[in-house]
Each structure stands twice: as C-alpha cells, then as structure tokens.
Structure 1
C-alpha cells in the first residue's frame, strides 16, 4: 500500500514520523508534499526513501491512501485538485474536525474517513479518533484500523461528539501542558526551587501518573484519594483548586465549540456551493 500525505505541517509531519517509526509503513511507500517544499524536504532528509511530490495531484495519483493534512478552509481546494486522481479503489482521509465525511463523500467517488490524531501518537501512544464515511469499504476500514493500531488506540466516534472528543484527545495535551507550565512557574515564584529542577520533577511526575493509570493501578478518583490523606497537606492544595478553578474547564469547552461552529459555517458555505 502506498500512502500519500498532503500537508506536512505540525500534524502532517507527526503522522509521517509516527507511521514510519511505528512500522506502519516503510518510507519507500510514502509520498509527501507541502505548499512550502522546505518542510517536506526536512522529512526527506530524515527518511531518505520518502518521495516528495511536486503537487497534491501527483501525490494522489501515486497513492492508494491519501491523508489531507491542511487547514479546514484549504480542504475544499485540495479535493478539487486531487479529484481526477481518485479512483473508487482509493481512500481519502481528512484529519480536521470541521470537515465531515459526508461533505467529502459528495466531492469524491472513493472511500472516505476522518482520522483526528493526537500529538501523543508521536510516542505511539494515546487515542486516535476515527469516523468512517457511509460508503467507506470494509477493506479500507480494516486497513485504516491496522494502520492506526500501530500509532495509537483507535476510538470510533460519531459526528455529534467530534468537537468534545477532539478537545480531549487532540487539544488536551496543549491544555495540560499549559497547566503544568503554570504549576512549575508558581513553584519557582513562591519557593526557592530551581526552574530546571521543577520542570524535571513535574515532567517525570506526569509521566508516572500516566503509567499508573495505564497499568490500571488506580482510577482518577482513587488516585486522588490515595494521595490526599485526611488532614494532610495535599488536601489543602485540593481545597484551593476546588475554590479557584470554578468553571474554567466549562469555559474552555464553550470557547472551543464557539470557534468550531464558526469553522463549520465557513466550511459549509464552501461545500454548499458544490
């Protein structure tokens, strides 16, 4: 199977690296392209056997499975460009949440899926969200499943929870990275701890926390109970979090969903003209 990647920005590049290093695909079986060719050539420098296509059309022509890894408002243009190279035996995957599989199916005659990755897939870990198009063949469903299993845990979602699931899986690492950095900065500001030491400790703590959950030693509530001894210091910190966090996470979901709706409206205006 030959895989094409159109767009080698942050997520496109991550998928290339994860699929190759997870042995989902060999570099020789992959062709990539990017509007700024230098970004694609950086991956070529790292994986010598990767082919760099001159344009999206060439990538689609040479590939069985095509990942479209561009911004939501650029997807429509790319689909128009690659449509002549998409036979019914091929499959197109978009990785952006505002584009539905049904919208893409109206534009192309091949199998369609949406795969929303997480930066955690770079470590061959974490969840990858999948939604199959109504007309996606069983053959392609099996192949996509095999591919995603090499880089993460595939989780099937319906359209109704796309944004919420994306917030948790795809945006979540950035949100919690921000919180962890704020945690470190507060420690440095309020105490005599060195920033490098605090960063190392916090980073290793979060890795260890992940392992505890992954290995099934605790659930999130039971872990908190285990650490938070009655009348102890941890409990005082929990009280502060309880009092001061307020509705911050509700506001995050409200903000992301508002932006999502705006993107949906803009994307719909493009596809409704078809």
Structure 2
C-alpha cells in the first residue's frame, strides 16, 4: 500500500491511524501527520509508533499516494489550498468532513477526491464506513480506499444525495443511540428501586446481546420483537407505546439534522 497522510488529528483521525497500524495495513514509517495541536491521542501514537512522521504537510505531501483531510468543515478549503501545491498529481484526496460535497472539493483541486464518513464504532472494528467518490476516481483508487477501510469496518458506497441521512444511521448513530438508552435507563431508575449503575449495566448487556442477534443470527428488528413480545404480553404493551410515540420523534431528529447539514453546506459553499 502507498504512503498515507493525515491532516488534522482528532478522534476520527486517531481511530483511522490506530486501526491501520494495528492491522499492519501500513508501517509506521509510511504514515505522515500534519496537525496544529499535539494532544494526548497524538502523544500516545508517538509513544507507541515512534517512526510515524509528524510535521507540516509541505514536507511530506509529495510522498503520499493518499491523503485524508480530517479537519472540521470550515477548515477544508484552507487545507486543500495548502495541500494542492505540494501533493503528487496522482494522489487520492479523501475528506471526512460533513457538509462538504464532492463538487466543492473538486473545485479546489485537480486530484481525484472522495468523501468518507467514519463512525466511532470502528474503534471496536465494526460499523459502516460511508463512501462517495468523485467522477475522476479510478477503479483502482476506489479499490484501494475500500480495502483500507475494510480493515476495520464494513464499506458502503452510496449516492451523495443520501449521505446525510445515512450518516445519521452510521456516524451519528452511536451518539443518538446513547441518548435514547440513557433516557430508557433513567426511566427504569425513576420507576423502581434500581440504582443507576444497575440499570445501565443491565441495558448495556441487553444492547450488546441484541446487536449480536441482529448480526450473527441475521434477525430483523421485527423478528427480534416477535421473539420477545408475545401476543397480549408485557413487552407488547411497551412496544405499542414506542411505536406510537417514536415516529414523530425520529422524523423531528431527521428534520433538524438534515437542516443542520444544509446550513453547513451553504456556509462551506460561501467560503469556496
């Protein structure tokens, strides 16, 4: 595999670097990082992998066949303009920023560009990596990126028009799921003598087991509900409440998040 550069080193960049090195997808001396701050994550990476090169992109960009831009959306334009004079013309540029369409990326560079939306669950070597490729990305570059991401996730190429909604189900999902089930556990505490620690422990194990059933047994949500909820039983009563109340809640979640994506895209377009 070619040498890889990372620009920015937040949570997702750290996940990518750690997983690539862990799975020996690249060697430490084939990884380059440009970042404005050296936080705990980067210090740990340096301690574990002293051969990683950390320095300004101007000093290493020409050596890399793939560069992942891992900065917030408002800094993508600035980063591309720094990168373009130094990167090899055949290198593949991959942005992980939300709200920055391929067309806006392509307007700043002649290199092949793709978008990749990571997920926190890939720290546990699971989850779905969403990918959208620009028109100039070759079949080989697509295969190389998919192979890279497959080291720690399932890879799904989708239409860019569906990317924001899909991101709610992959990238945002761990946070949204955590918010939902924290409320579920808190309700158990309010309605029983359970402690918060007990409620969270019980629920976390139930979530883990349900996930295993859904993936390993290839069960659908409806099949899982049918296995637990007997007709006229207790679980069915609870499921009816959820099925009645939650459609409106989730429609509002999508309405607000998709509006936020649109606002972010418009702000980025204004910059570019």
**TM-score where L is the length of structure 2:** 0.93
The structure 2 residue matched to 1:48, chosen from 50, 62, 83, is: 50
Q: How many residues align?
A: 270
Partner residue in 1 for 2:146: 145
Q: CA deviation at 1:112?
A: 1.1
Partner residue in 2 for 1:72: 73
Moved over 4 A (4+): none
Deviates more, 1:104-113 or 1:259-268: 104-113
Measure the CA separation in 2 of the matches of 1:71 and 1:171. Answer: 15
Deviates more, 1:97-106 or 1:64-73: 97-106
Partner residue in 2 for 1:97: 98
Quickly say closer, same or farther: Cα 1:166–1:217, change in 2 above 3 A.
closer
Q: CA deviation at 1:19?
A: 2.0
Following superposition of structure 1 onto structure 2, how do residues 97-176 of structure 1 map, counting pairs within 5 Å? 97-176=98-177
**Contact 2:5–2:67 (Cα < 8 Å) also in 1:** yes
Question: CA RMSD for the aligned pairs?
Answer: 1.6
Q: CA deviation at 1:167?
A: 1.0
Measure the CA separation in 1 of the matches of 2:184 and 2:255. Answer: 24
1:65-109 Cα deviation digits (max 9, x unpaired): 100001111000000111111222211100113112222222212
Query: SS of the residue aligned with 2:39?
Result: helix
Query: SS of the residue aligned with 1:107?
Result: coil
Matched, 1:9 2:16: no
Measure the CA separation in 2 of the matches of 1:201 and 1:50. Answer: 41
Deviates more, 1:250-259 or 1:4-13: 4-13
Listed as ranges, the gaps of 5+ residues in structure 2 are none
Quickly say closer, same or farther: Cα 1:58–1:182, change in 2 above 3 A.
farther
**Contact 2:64–2:88 (Cα < 8 Å) also in 1:** no
**Contact 1:2–1:29 (Cα < 8 Å) also in 2:** yes
Measure the CA separation in 1 of the matches of 2:218 and 2:98. Answer: 33
Q: CA deviation at 1:138?
A: 2.1
**Contact 1:41–1:52 (Cα < 8 Å) also in 2:** no
**Contact 1:56–1:82 (Cα < 8 Å) also in 2:** yes
Measure the CA separation in 1 of the matches of 2:8 and 2:218. Answer: 40
Measure the CA separation in 2 of the matches of 1:49 and 1:194. Answer: 47
Quickly say closer, same or farther: Cα 1:100–1:246, change in 2 above 3 A.
closer
1:211-244 Cα deviation digits (max 9, x unpaired): 1111134211111111001121111211222343
Quickly say closer, same or farther: Cα 1:8–1:227, change in 2 above 3 A.
same
Query: SS of the residue aligned with 1:218?
Result: coil
**Contact 2:101–2:265 (Cα < 8 Å) also in 1:** no
Quickly say closer, same or farther: Cα 1:47–1:189, change in 2 above 3 A.
farther
Partner residue in 1 for 2:27: 26
Listed as ranges, the gaps of 5+ residues in structure 1 are none
Measure the CA separation in 2 of the matches of 1:69 and 1:97. Answer: 10
Measure the CA separation in 1 of the matches of 2:195 and 2:268. Answer: 47
Q: CA deviation at 1:246?
A: 4.8
**TM-score where L is the length of structure 1:** 0.93
1:193-215 Cα deviation digits (max 9, x unpaired): 22222222211111111111111
